[in-house]
Structure 1
Amino acid sequence: MMRQLDFILMRGGTSKGVFLRASDVPEDRGDLAKLLLAVMGSPDRRQIDGLGGADKLTSKAAIMGPPTRADSDVSYLFGQVGITVPQVEFNVNCGNLTAAAAVYAIEEGLVAARDGTTRVRIHNVNTDKIITADVPVANGKPLVAGKLAIDGVPGTGAPIALNFGDAAGAITGQLLPLGAPQSLLAVPELGEISVSVVDCANLVIFVAAETLGMRGAEAPEEVDGNPALIGRINAIRRVVAHRLGFGDYFDSRPAAATPFCVIVGPPAEYTSFSTGRPVPADNMDVACRQFAAGSVSRAYAATVTACTGVAARLDGSVLHAMLAPSAHDRPKLRIGHPSGIIEVESSVSGSLGNPRVDKALILRTARRLAEGRTFLLDGTSEP
Structure 2
Amino acid sequence: MARLVRAALMRGGTSKGVVFRAADLPPAGAARDAVIVAALGPDSTGLAIDGVGGGVTSTLKAAVVAPPSKPGFAADYHFAQVSRGGGIDWRSSCANFASAAALVAADDGMALREADGSAVVRLWASGAGEALSVTLPATDAPPVAIAGVRGEAPPLRVEFELGGHALLPTGRPEEEGLRLGDRPLRATIVDVAGNPQVLVRAVEGGLRGDEAAEEATAALVWEAVDALLDEAAGRVGLKARPSGMRLLWLSARRDHCLAGGGAVAAAECDLLSRVSAGSRVHHAHTGTGALALACAAAVPGTVAHELVRGGGGGGCGGGGEAGAELRIAHPQGVMRVHASVGRDADGRHVAHSAGMVRTARYLMVGEVVV
- With the length of structure 1 as denominator, give the TM-score of the two structures: 0.86
Give the aligned partner of residue 134 of structure 2.
133
| Residues 1:246 and 2:242 are matched in the alignment | no
SS at 2:72's partner residue?
A: coil
Q: Does 1:264 align with 2:264?
A: no
- Give % identity: 30
Is the alpha carbon distance of 1:269 and 1:167 closer, same or farther for their aligned partners in structure 2, counting shifts above 3 Å? Answer: farther
Aligned-pair CA distance for 1:20: 0.7
- Cα distance in 2 for partners of 1:260, 1:291 equals 6
Structure 1 residue 227: Cα displacement = 5.2
Counterpart mapping for 1:169-318 below 5 A = 169=165, 174-187=166-179, 189-190=181-182, 192-201=184-193, 202-226=195-219, 228=221, 230-247=222-239, 249-250=240-241, 257-273=243-259, 275-318=260-303
1:71 equivalent in alignment to 2:76 = no
TM-score (norm 2): 0.89
**Counterpart of 1:116 in 2: which secondary structure?**
coil
1:159 aligns with 2:144: no
Write the deviation string for residues 93-150 of structure 1: whole angstroms up to 9, x where unpaired.
1101111222211112233544622121111111111011111134xxxx7x733210
Superposed CA deviations along residues 165-195 of structure 1, whole A, max 9, x for unmatched, are 41765xxxx4211112222134383465321
Distance 2:72 2:173 in 1: 30
CA contact (8 A) 2:163 2:352 kept: no
CA distance in structure 1 between the aligned counterparts of 2:294 and 2:2, rounded to whole angstroms: 46
SS in 2 for 1:126: coil
C-alpha RMSD over aligned residues: 2.3
Which digits, 9 at most, give the CA deviation of each residue in 1:292-330, with x for residues without a partner? 322211111111111111000011111101113441359
Question: Shift of the alpha carbon at 1:13?
Answer: 1.2
Counterpart contact for 2:325–2:337, Cα < 8 Å: yes
Within 5 Å, give how 1:43-62 maps onto structure 2.
Answer: 43=43, 44-62=45-63
Change in 2 beyond 3 A, CA 1:166/1:269: same
Which of 322, 328, 331 is equivalent to 2:324?
Answer: 331
Shift in alpha-carbon separation, 1:245–1:356, aligned structure 2, 3 A: closer
Q: State the Cα deviation string for residues 52-105 of structure 1 (Å, max 9, x = none).
A: 13332122111111101113110111111223x222222221101111222211
Q: 8 Å contact 1:75–1:125 — kept in the other structure?
A: yes
SS at match of 1:223: helix
Residues 106, 113 of structure 1: 8 Å contact kept: no
Give the 3 Å change call, closer, same or farther, for CA 227–358 of structure 1 in structure 2. Answer: closer
CA distance change for structure 1 residues 55 and 167 in 2, over 3 Å: closer, same or farther? farther
| Residue pairs, 1:343-358, within 5 angstroms | 343-350=336-343, 353-358=347-352
> C-alpha distance in 1, partners of 2:96/2:13?
5
Q: Note closer, same or farther for the CA distance 1:225–1:150 as it changes in structure 2 (3 Å cut).
A: same
**Separation of aligned partners in 1, 2:163 and 2:8:** 27
Q: Displacement of 1:30 after TM fit? A: 3.1
- The answer as to whether partners of 2:156 and 2:359 remain within 8 angstroms in 1 is yes
Structure-1 separation of matches of 2:164 and 2:333: 26
SS at 1:122's partner residue?
A: strand
Name the CA distance, whole Å, in 1 between partners of 2:327 and 2:220. 30
SS of 1:166's partner is strand
Distance 1:210 1:61 in 2: 35
Q: Any conservation in 2 of the 1:185–1:195 contact (CA below 8 Å)?
A: no
Distance 2:261 2:55 in 1: 20
CA distance in 2, matches of 1:188, 1:9: 37
1:259 deviation in Å? 2.2
Q: Which residue of 2 aligns with 1:94?
A: 94
Map of 1:108 onto structure 2:
108
8 A contact 2:187–2:199 mirrored in 1: yes
Partner of 1:18: 18
Partner of 2:35: 35
Shift, 1:8, TM fit: 1.0
| CA distance, structure 2, for counterparts of residue 349 and residue 2 of structure 1 | 53
Determine which of 351, 358, 362 is the counterpart of 1:364.
358
Task: Say whether the 8 Å CA contact 1:105–1:111 is kept in structure 2.
Answer: yes
Task: Tell me what 2:143 maps to.
Answer: 147
The amino acid across from 1:355 in the alignment is: H
Unaligned runs of 5+ in 2: none
Aligned-residue offset at 1:220: 1.6
